[in-house]
Amino acid sequence: MKLFNFLILVSFISATIAADNTTSTTQTTTEEVVLTTGPVTCEYKTKDINTDYDENTDTKITCGGSSCSVSGSGASFANSILSITAAGTYIVGGSLDGQIKINATENDFIHLVLNSAIITSSDGPAIYGVTANKVTITIIGENVIKDSTNYTVVNEEPDACLFIDSDLSINGSGSITVTGNYGDAIRCKKDLKLVSGNVIILSAVQRGIKAKNSICIKDGTVDVTSSNSGIKVTRDDNSNKGYIVIDGGNIAISSGKDALHAETHLTINNGYIDIKNCSEGIEGQMIDILGGEIHVLATDDGINASKISNTDNKVTDGMNGGMNGGMNGGMNGGMNGGMNGGMNGGMNGGMNDGMNDGMNDGMNDGMGGGINNNMKGGMDNRMPSNSSSSSDGSVYINIVGGKTYVTVKGNDVDGIDSNGVLYIGGEAEVYTCIEGGDVYGNMAALDADGNNDIIAGATVIALGGSNNGMGGGKMSSGNMGDNKMNQGNMNNGNFSPNNGNTNSTNINSNAYPPMKRQAQQPIDYPTTNTNTTINDDMSSNAKSGNMDGGMGKQRGPGGPGGPGGMGGMGETGSVYQPYIQASVNSQEAGSQIIVKDNNDKVIITFTPEISYSSILITTPSIVAGQEYTIVTGSNSITAVASEAATGSVNPPSVTSPTDTLNSSSSSDSYSIKSHLLSTIVIIAILILF
């Protein structure tokens, strides 16, 4: 009887396993990947860190041109290929016109020591790891590897100068300079750890450094120049993979596309990161910045958080949503914002210009913006934001430590952009500026589809390159045109920089809090000066009006369309400590900002790399209700600090660098079914015996 029961249980277990396998196959193509809140941590084991080797006992290989001599076991040389076929430590020095090929077993650990080696391949990768359990490369002295421009490939692989099909770690006291003439410079198909040493990607036709599962950077120097992404992790079907963690080191990146790209988590604990040139700077779904110093110069979003997607139907959805949502939003926003802006600002001439330009530009901008933004998201395998991901914390940027500098130059861009939550707190310092945009809203220095919060303790300077949010119907969204035009009246005697005069103008910063705007598709705006002169092409009726009438033409375009596919998500910006928000004459790049209190004590200074005119400043030292002097170039204005926002904030992740970190990414989690199967087996054994 016991045997019969056991056989029944075995059959049940087999059926459960089969069902589980079937479900897993379906999950890889249809189910959404749900992430655990970060930050994540990396574990560095002995095989990652150890740099020891013994020239007397380990296999030593000396190369010269087209030949190598091998002293020891596990390696051989033939036909310009140095083959490593067994576990062990291999010391390679000299110059080789050929390839190092690792073809061991799936259980073998290969420790490859490059001691002033120069490897130049004329057919494929310079170092090709076909099979191993793990490869650790220790670099001693100066090492150089180059691949060929043409490869012999099967199923598109190999495709990198340093191509490893297993886990890869790089450590040592020396350097390795890699040139990717065919595709990527370094590619690891599992987990990659850069532990120490200097890794220099001189150039890469595609990605500089690419891994499938994860990339961890502990220390050393990483310098990447690439035509495509700089450092990228590609896995998007496993919540425990697809991440990048930076624990230290000096990292410099110049790339044609994303500089740092993770599919799931991107955590920065420490280090110095200098992104000198790129499209998007830092990208992931959950971004935690806990420390270090980061500089980003980008032509697209400086830091972007968006939801990953492992399905293939997002481009069409984005186009349809963009056309419908953008067109409707553009027409409504353009007509309402343009009419209201023109009527309030331009009297007769301004009203006509506002109506015409608002309708035309609103429709065009709404349609164009909606399509472009969502196609960009779809092509990058990421989903446009939705109401759920923007508010439930599944997508976020969390900056609670270190210093972050973001400068963005371009159209249809944001400085720091979260398709979910943006949270700046702890003792973080954030300096972000956007050329041609504003602090909040459309083309923004600080942009979020969900909560957009600055918490007490943080220091933030956010700059916009024009005065779009402060004046003109162009920034209107639907029926909010009246509100934006009222903001525009700051020019009419209530708000005007002194243009270098000795008398400063008092500003009540409480009158202009961070603006509550509907989400809009970014549009290329002209830079607006707070003391704009009347345009020559205005009608005589507009010219005869007051300053508001003269500005009717600029206000006319009205509001851009709502974001493609979503039809206008709400955006807010809240500062939970006293702050100053102001607008000044457009300042040239390099014009220092100095904030002084009423005792002439300097509170904070910052020198932006782009022109600017709209300013948001908050630090723990600013006191609400007190007057401050803002010096910008040769101009100065005074402003009264606004009261802090009130209410509670739900942080998306940790609130300081010292909080307990989530280490879920270091090892795979077990599913409920795995535990269930184990329990069933134990019960079966108990029944049998």
DSSP state of 360: H
Where along the chain do its domains lie?
Answer: 46-308, 328-640
**Residue 521 per-residue DSSP state:** -
User: Could you give the residue ranges of the DSSP H alpha helices within 131-276?
Assistant: none
Segment 328-354 mean pLDDT: 39
Mean pLDDT, residues 661-666: 42
* pLDDT bracket for residue 35 (50, 70, 90): very high
Q: Is the pLDDT of residue 302 over 90?
A: yes
pLDDT at residue 577 tops 90:
yes
Which element (helix H / strand E) includes 255? Answer: strand 250-255
Q: What percentage of the chain has pLDDT greater than the value 90?
A: 60
Specify the pLDDT at position 325.
40
Rounded distance between C-alpha atoms, residue 348 and residue 364, angstroms: 24
Give the model's pLDDT for residue 687.
56
Q: What average pLDDT does this structure show over 258-282?
A: 98
C-alpha closest to that of 280 among 131, 400, 127, 397: 397
Contact (Cβ atoms closer than 8 angstroms) between residue 86 and residue 74: yes
The residue assigned the tokens 């707070």 is 530
CA atoms of 531 and 74, how far apart (whole Å)? 77
CA distance 518 to 449: 9
Give me the residues paired with residue 577 across strands: none
Q: What are the start-end ranges of the E strands in 121-249?
A: 127-131, 134-140, 142-146, 160-164, 167-172, 175-180, 184-188, 191-194, 198-204, 209-211, 214-217, 221-226, 231-233, 243-246
pLDDT in tens, 471-480: 332 333 333 3
Helix (H) or strand (E) holding 594: strand 593-596
pLDDT, residue 552, reads 37
438 touches 444 (CB < 8 A): yes
Write the pLDDT tens digit of every residue in 629-661.
999 999 999 999 999 999 999 999 999 998 754
Which residue type does 478 have? Answer: G
The two structure tokens encoding residue 613? 């005119």
pLDDT for residue 375 is more than 80: no
pLDDT at 339: 38
Q: Residue 630 pairs with which residues in a beta bridge?
A: 595, 637
Nearest to 380 by CA among 533, 208, 261, 299: 261
Beta bridge partners of 253: 224, 275
Separation of alpha carbons 65 and 82, rounded Å: 12
State the Cα–Cα distance between residues 247 and 41, nearest whole angstrom: 9
DSSP 431-479: EEEETT-BSSSSSBSEEESS-EEE-TT-EEEEEESS-TTTSSGGG--GG
Within 10 angstroms of residue 97's Cβ, the number of other Cβ atoms is 15
Helix (H) or strand (E) segment spanning residue 82 = strand 81-84
**What pLDDT does residue 376 have?**
38
pLDDT given at position 218? 99
For residue 23, pLDDT over 80 is answered with no
Torsions phi, psi for 350 (to 5 deg): -65, -35
The two tokens of residue 649 are: 């904030």
Mean pLDDT of 77-100: 99
Predicted pLDDT of residue 320: 39
Question: Other CB atoms closer than 10 Å to residue 607's CB: what's the count?
Answer: 11
Question: Which amino acid, one-letter code, is at 452?
Answer: N
Q: Average of pLDDT values for 595-615?
A: 97
Q: What is the pLDDT of residue 603?
A: 98
pLDDT given at position 392: 73
Highest-scoring range by mean pLDDT, 161-170, 521-530, 558-567: 161-170
Q: pLDDT band at 155, cuts 50/70/90?
A: confident
Smallest CA-to-CA distance from 570 within 450, 445, 422 is with 450
User: Per-residue pLDDT for 361 more than 80?
Assistant: no
Q: Region 302-319: what's the mean pLDDT?
A: 62
Alpha-helical regions (H) of 481-521: 481-488
State residue 553's pLDDT score: 36
Tens of pLDDT, residue by residue over 607-632, are 999 999 999 999 999 999 999 999 99
- pLDDT for the residue numbered 378: 38
Average of per-residue pLDDT values in the chain: 76
- In this prediction, residue 31 has a pLDDT band, given cuts at 50, 70 and 90, of confident
pLDDT value at position 310?
57
**Distance, CA of 301 to CA of 296 (rounded, Å):** 10
C-beta atoms surrounding 123 within 10 Å? 13
> Once rounded to an integer, what is the mean pLDDT over residues 653-678?
55
Confidence of residue 682 (pLDDT cuts 50, 70, 90): low
Cα(543)–Cα(551) distance, integer angstroms = 9
Q: What is the pLDDT of residue 465?
A: 85
Whole-number pLDDT of residue 583: 93
Residue 335 pLDDT > 80, yes or no?
no
Q: pLDDT band at residue 154, thresholds of 50, 70 and 90?
A: confident
E strand or H helix at 288: strand 286-289
Q: What is the pLDDT of residue 448?
A: 96
More confident residue, 555 or 296: 296
pLDDT in tens, 424-474: 999 999 999 999 889 998 799 999 999 999 999 999 999 998 644 333 323
Portion of the chain with pLDDT greater than 70, in percent: 64
**50-59, 232-241, 344-353: range with lowest mean pLDDT:** 344-353
Give the integer Cα–Cα distance in Å for 552 and 371. Answer: 29
142 in helix, strand or coil? Answer: strand
Of residues 382 and 107, the one with the higher pLDDT is: 107
- β-bridge pairing 396-399 and 429-434: unpaired
Please, which residues have CB within 8 angstroms of residue 33's CB and are 6 or more apart in sequence? 236, 237, 238, 239, 264, 308, 310
Residue 550 and residue 18: Cα distance in Å, rounded? 74
